[in-house]
Structure 1
Amino acid sequence: MQGRPDSGFLQWRWKPDGCELPRFDPGTFFEIVRGKTMAFIGDSVARNHVESLLCLLSSEEMPLGIYKDTEDRTRTWYFPHSNFTLMVIWTRFLVLDEERVINGSVTGVFDLHLDKMDKNWANKLPEIDYAILSDAHWFFRKNYLYEKGKNIGCIFCGEPGIKSLDIDSALQMVIKVVLNYINNCKKCRNILTVLRTFSPAHFADGAWDTGGSCNRTHPLGEKEIDLASLEWKIRSIQVEEIKRVRPVARRRKKFEVLDVTKAMLMRPDGHPNSYWGNKWMKGYNDCVHWCMPGPIDVWNDFLIALLRRHAFADFTWS
């Protein structure tokens, strides 16, 4: 709960129309993933998802931490009883990025190379059975996009002679090349690629660096969310790209969507806000990540439902 004094946000749970969503069952999860490797590939929100999953799984089996990088961003856990390996692999943009440096200082401005993958995850792809991808939050800044060394546009730069790109169109370019890369990976085994849709932030009365906060203690109603918002546009292009790659998926490659956007648009009450305990960025509120336990746990309800469907589809009589 990140130290939040209230707990009402724990009492709300997503209910889909026309069906019931079973709660996450760790025993069933381990049966499905026995002997497999699952990697969550993305930024700190991907790690937030993994932390929720670890908490749920630990009631059944405690993992062994077998790898951690120097920045504690990429980690690997092993569950010996189930012979299951779980990874979180840090990447800002999925593709190769280079941060611009001026006079020895980093700028927060990145050059993205669409024809090169981030090796943090690409080098590990052949050993992965389930790849859970997420991307978007790092696109909300000035970024320049390149293809074969040639600039093809930028986000938030407004410079003459450079094509101006919207966040959603730039993100779509990246998702397209990433999914194509996975589909064409010759060394990859029977991999299920799951693209988690955009998890919206809920800053009110300012942005993250201008005093924005998220003080709500109740969810929004379905009629209160904006399905014409940028968040929904991002979600729509993510779904569109999965639909595009499915008909051309190579043998034993499968692509799915973990669609969390609508559920999370309704949960401005579920963020740590000022209770995130960060020692390095005091004075800023966290309305991007999610409290645990909290609304993010439903992502794993969605995930196991998706995995069960695939496990059943892959079952054959011997």
Structure 2
Amino acid sequence: MQGRPDSGFLQWRWKPDRCELPRFDPGTFFEIVRGKTMAFIGDSVARNHVESLLCLLSSEEMPLGIYKDAEDRTRTWYFPHSNFTLMVIWTRFLVLDEERVINGSVTGVFDLHLDKMDKNWASKLPEIDYAILSDAHWFFRKNYLYEKGKNIGCIFCSEPGIKSLDIDSALQMVIKVVLNYINNCKKCRNILTVLRTFSPAHFADGAWDTGGSCNRTHPLGEKEIDLASLDWKIRSIQVEEIKRARTVARRRRKFEVLDVTKAMLMRPDGHPNSYWGNKWMKGYNDCVHWCMPGPIDAWNDFLIALLRRHAFTDFTWS
């Protein structure tokens, strides 16, 4: 909880219409994933999700940390009793990116190459049984998109001769090529690819760098959320691309959606805000990541419900 003094956000739980959502059961989870490898592929919000999962699983079995990179962004844990491997693999955009440098200084502006995957995760794909993908937060900045070396557009720019792209349309291009890459991976296992939908931020009275904060202590009601927002447009595109991927899926490929957006649109009370313990960016609030324990734990309730539908049947092909 990072020192956050209130705890009311722990008492609320997502309840779907017309059904009960069982709480996460680590024993059942380990039974489903025994002998498998699961990788969460994405940015720091993907890491946030993994941290929640680790906390839940550790009540049943403590993992061994067997790998971490120099920046502690890509990590691997092993649960020996269950013979289960859990990874979090850092990537900003899923596709290859190059940050522009001017006079020796980084700019925060990236060139994205749609015909090349980020090798950080793509090189590990053949050893993965469950790939949990997420992407979007790094698109909220000036980024240039390329295909076969040719510029095809830019987000947040108005430059002569360069097509201006909306965030959602640029993200859709990336998701499409990533899912196609996974579908056509010849060395891959019987892989289940799960795309987690967009996890909204809740900055109020400013952006992250202009004094924005998230001070609410109660969730929003269903009628208070905006389903015409960019958050929802991004979610809808992600769902659309998974549906498209299913129509062309090869025999050993399965594609699913982990749909968290609506549930999280209602939880502006669940972020660390000023209680995030950051030593390098003092004065800024965190309304992107989620307190733990907290609303993010529901993502693993959703995840295990999804895995149950595929358990013991979808991974028996030769």
Give the TM bin, normalised by the shorter chain. Answer: over 0.9
| Deviations, residues 211-234 of structure 1 (Å, cap 9, x unaligned) | 000000000000000000000000
| Deviations, residues 151-185 of structure 1 (Å, cap 9, x unaligned) | 00000011111000000000000000000000000
* 1:242 match: secondary structure: helix
Separation (CA, whole Å) in 1 of partners of 2:317 and 2:108: 54
Percent identity, aligned pairs only? Answer: 97
- 1:88 and 2:88 aligned: yes
Shift of 1:3: 1.0
Residues paired across the two proteins, number: 318
* 1:283 match: secondary structure: coil
| Deviations, residues 22-53 of structure 1 (Å, cap 9, x unaligned) | 00000000000000000000000000000000
Separation (CA, whole Å) in 2 of partners of 1:158 and 1:181: 31
Shift of 1:314: 3.6
| Deviations, residues 124-156 of structure 1 (Å, cap 9, x unaligned) | 000000000000000000000000000000000
* 2:115 match: secondary structure: strand
Structure 2 CA distance for partners of 1:156 and 1:316, relative to 1, 3 Å: closer
* 1:243 match: secondary structure: helix
- 1:182 and 2:182 aligned: yes
Normalising by structure 2, report the TM-score: 0.99
Gaps of 5+ in 1: none
* 1:170 match: secondary structure: helix
| Deviations, residues 85-125 of structure 1 (Å, cap 9, x unaligned) | 00000000000000000000000000000000000000000
Shift of 1:285: 0.1
Separation (CA, whole Å) in 2 of partners of 1:146 and 1:309: 38
Structure 2 CA distance for partners of 1:191 and 1:277, relative to 1, 3 Å: same
Question: Do the aligned residues in 1 keep the contact of 2:213 with 2:286 (CA within 8 Å)?
Answer: yes
Shift of 1:261: 0.1
Shift of 1:312: 5.5
Shift of 1:67: 0.1
Question: Do the aligned residues in 1 keep the contact of 2:252 with 2:317 (CA within 8 Å)?
Answer: no
Question: Do the aligned residues in 1 keep the contact of 2:99 with 2:107 (CA within 8 Å)?
Answer: yes
Question: Do the aligned residues in 1 keep the contact of 2:190 with 2:315 (CA within 8 Å)?
Answer: no
| Deviations, residues 264-309 of structure 1 (Å, cap 9, x unaligned) | 0000000000000000000000000000000000000000000011
Gaps of 5+ in 2: none
Match of 2:254 in 1: 254
* 1:17 match: secondary structure: coil
Q: Compute the RMSD of aligned alpha carbons.
A: 1.4
Q: How does 1:232-251 map to 2 (within 5 A)?
A: 232-251=232-251
Question: Do the aligned residues in 1 keep the contact of 2:190 with 2:317 (CA within 8 Å)?
Answer: no
Separation (CA, whole Å) in 2 of partners of 1:48 and 1:155: 26
Question: Do the aligned residues in 1 keep the contact of 2:109 with 2:143 (CA within 8 Å)?
Answer: yes
